[in-house]
Amino acid sequence: MGTDTNASGRGARRAQRIVFPAIRRVAWEDYEVPAADALAPTQVLVRNASSLVSAGTEMAIYSGAHIGFATPGATYPRMPFRPGYAAGGVVVAAGAAVSAFRPGDRVCGAQRHEPWSVVDTAREMLLPLPDGVTFEQGGLARLAGIAMQGVRLARVQLGDHGVVFGQGLVGQFARQFLVIDGAATAIAVDPVDARLEVAARHGATHTVNPQRAPAAERVAAITAGHGADVVIEATGSPAVAVDALKVAAELGRVVLLGSPRGRAEIDLYHDIHSKGVSLIGAHVRTAPGTANAHYRWTRDEQQLLALELMRQGRLVTDGLVTHRVPAAAALDVYETLLAGPQDRLGVIITWPED
């Protein structure tokens, strides 16, 4: 977790990063951080300030619930696994061929949970942080970009009734994007009241706790029987995906944003066919890596837009980070999240400067 340098302060450093040696095991792993003059031409060295724990993919890998473990022939994930893909920090050094970044630049990207990251700018995402946008927001922007892709695929129209099932980080952002895109109604559905309170502060027109009232009944009442034109499923629960279909209006669009893991029984005639409902998969890979004639919004462009909307104050992040954990205590995060995910929203690991 700490770092060491040689006596001259130059040369390779030793540091520690988080690793999953096996399912439900987490440890520190020693690794070497190269000296500035040892970087490849397209590489940059980043000193991370904070990294965001993913309550979805990362926790699914840690717990063994990730669909890749049960899919024949799948090559991802594999243990040992080095988690983390949303971080913010400062460029310390850059290779000879790097022109987009200089030492001192504030950046965000897909760095792991580690104090120092070597990022190959020819192959890996690294984006500039706008002035006024924090390192924590840089990490959050990664999840905001995922949410944005789901809302884009829903093709929201001005005045639509929108519902988002699940008010974790991805669902919170998806609901905000519904409003930015012009939805007149943005209904937040979640069994955790604290998350609904955050949603209400951030622009949800209505909140629904399905443990107190069936979501379908509440959505029907809110929309005067019309139903939801756009439904975003952001929990990853197959059972909730079934509920999402039931609240959709005629010709509604239901987007599976939360990577559902498992099977569900669907009434194909009543819930999809007779209503003309479109069921849309929105895995992050549906956003292209390179712009093309059909789709200009790449993964990087969407995250850059999320950062700009944060800078403008139109995409709100206050209250989304509920826990900040110093690196020294980071190994305890995973079992804590597994035992009580409802008690936490965004969890940030903070990395020491030395």
Q: pLDDT by residue (tens digit) across 273-304? A: 999 999 999 888 788 778 787 788 888 899 99
Neighbours of 312 (CB within 10 A): 10
The pLDDT value recorded for residue 3 is 52
Q: How many CB atoms lie within 10 A of CB 331?
A: 15
- Residue 91 forms beta bridges with which residues? 46
CA distance 311 to 134: 9
- Cα gap 246→105, rounded to integer Å: 48
The domains of the chain, with CATH numbers, are 13-128+320-350 (3.90.180.10), 144-286 (3.40.50.720)
Whole-number mean pLDDT of the chain? 92
Residue 183: half-sphere exposure toward Cβ, Cα within 13 Å: 30
Band of pLDDT at residue 161, cut at 50, 70 and 90? very high
- Please indicate whether residue 290 or residue 162 has the higher confidence score (pLDDT): 162
Cis peptide before 341 (omega within 30 of 0): no
Question: How does pLDDT run across 182-213, given as a tens digit for each residue?
Answer: 999 999 999 999 999 999 999 999 999 999 99
**Taking 50 as the threshold, does the pLDDT of residue 5 lie above it?**
no
- Upper half-sphere CA count for residue 39 (Cβ side, 13 Å): 22
CA-based nearest residue to 139, from 53, 47, 20:
53
Q: How many residues does the chain have?
A: 354
pLDDT on residue 7: 33
What does R_g of the chain's alpha carbons equal in angstroms?
Answer: 21
